[in-house]
């Protein structure tokens, strides 16, 4: 099978003063995959994620997205190209309903222009109706219909994570970066969240790049799993192989039998 990288990180480095957070790191995220990124605290995972997402600029190296050089592009420009990110702490509009949160996502809506609102009210209403239909479809897909009119600030942690996932479905996402999706989510909603990620991957063709400390979730969702340590990739493969690698298990998970989550 040919390798088609949506995200291609090439020899990227990032320093913060005397600290080398990412050290000549290279990795690729294959189109249509759910790729996991794990490793001990201080391995450079979060910094690498921020580099890919455009939150910080690398000191050296190159980041490609769909074959185009996007090194140093800002998050909103990456958003326009189809790279979206969710956060460990959900970033909802708390005083708007769940449905309204989804309707806010698509960029360049006609209603954003005061002139268009005055001169073409029919076009604005038609566009709003189309966005609303899409939002309702997303609500239905995620089984959030019972909270669609609830203020987003009143939702549970798991429901907010589902809503963030839904926001990625409101645009033509080419890749979704999931940052600690399990944080603050109870086991029941986490199972729903994982199932929806799987459905988005298999049914809708979404590509996911996942940074996560919950090894059970990584094992369920991700193939391949990339292991980082000291700013570099040290291993890559299916979780079954990662679990059986004595060096990785002993050095980064502290047990030869069970892979424990690291902080």
Tell me the average confidence (pLDDT) per consecutive run of 10 residues in the chain, 263 residues long: 79 96 97 94 93 96 96 93 80 89 79 65 76 92 93 92 90 90 86 93 94 92 94 92 79 49 37
- Evaluate whether residue 246 is within a structural domain: yes
72 in a structural domain: yes
Q: Is the peptide bond before 61 cis (omega within 30 degrees of 0)?
A: no
Q: Is 230 strand, coil or helix?
A: coil
Q: Is residue 107 part of a domain?
A: yes
Query: Pairing relation of β-strands 83-86 and 34-38?
Result: unpaired
Q: What is the pLDDT of residue 106?
A: 75
Phi-psi region of 72 (alpha: psi -120 to 50; beta: other; left: phi over 0): left
User: Do 67 and 101 fall into the same domain?
Assistant: no
d(CA 32, CA 7): 11
What's the pLDDT score for residue 194? 94
Q: Do 186 and 202 share a structural domain?
A: yes
Residue 161, domain member (yes or no): no
Same domain, 150 and 207: no
Establish if 163 belongs to a structural domain: no
The answer to whether the CB of 65 falls within 8 A of the CB of 81 is yes
Same domain assignment for residues 70 and 105: no
Query: What is the number of structural domains in the chain?
Result: 2
103 within domain boundaries: yes
Alpha helices by DSSP H, the chain? 45-52, 75-81, 98-103, 114-119, 121-141, 157-168, 187-204, 215-221, 239-244, 246-248
**Full residue range of the structural domain in which residue 188 is found:** 5-92+168-253
The values of phi and psi at residue 209, to 5°, are -120, 115
Q: What is the pLDDT of residue 27?
A: 97
Tokens of 35: 């790729």
Asked if residue 173 and residue 61 are part of one domain, the reply reads yes
Is residue 129 located within the same domain as residue 73? no
Return the C-alpha torsion angle 164, 57, 223, 28, nearest 10. 140
Evaluate whether residue 261 is within a structural domain: no
Last residue of a domain, one of 154, 183, 198: 154
**Residues 62 and 187 occupy one common structural domain:** yes
Q: Are residues 127 and 177 in the same domain?
A: no
What pLDDT does residue 158 have? 87
């Amino acid at each position: 099978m040919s390798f088609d990288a949506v995200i291609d990180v090439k020899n990227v480095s990032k320093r913060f003063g005397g600290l080398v957070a990412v050290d000549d790191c290279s990795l690729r995220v294959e189109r249509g995959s759910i790729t996991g990124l794990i490793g001990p605290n201080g391995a450079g995972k979060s910094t690498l994620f921020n580099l890919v997402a455009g939150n910080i600029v690398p000191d050296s190296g190159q980041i490609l997205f769909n074959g185009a050089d996007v090194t140093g592009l800002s998050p909103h420009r990456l958003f326009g190209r189809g790279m979206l990110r969710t956060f460990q702490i959900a970033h909802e509009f708390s005083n708007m309903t769940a449905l309204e949160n989804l309707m806010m996502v698509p960029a360049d809506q006609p209603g954003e222009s005061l002139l268009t609102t005055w001169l073409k009210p029919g076009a604005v209403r038609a566009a709003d109706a189309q966005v609303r239909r899409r939002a309702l479809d997303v609500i239905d897909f995620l089984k959030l219909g019972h909270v669609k009119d609830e203020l987003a600030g009143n939702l549970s942690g798991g429901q907010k994570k589902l809503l963030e996932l839904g926001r990625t479905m409101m645009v033509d996402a080419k890749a979704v970066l999931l940052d600690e999706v399990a944080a603050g989510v109870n086991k029941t909603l986490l199972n729903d969240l994982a199932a929806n990620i799987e459905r988005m991957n298999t049914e809708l063709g979404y590509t996911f790049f996942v940074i996560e400390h919950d090894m059970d979730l990584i094992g369920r969702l991700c193939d391949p799993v990339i292991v980082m340590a000291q700013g570099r990739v040290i291993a890559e493969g299916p979780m079954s192989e990662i679990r059986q690698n004595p060096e990785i298990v002993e050095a980064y998970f502290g047990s030869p039998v069970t892979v424990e989550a690291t902080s």
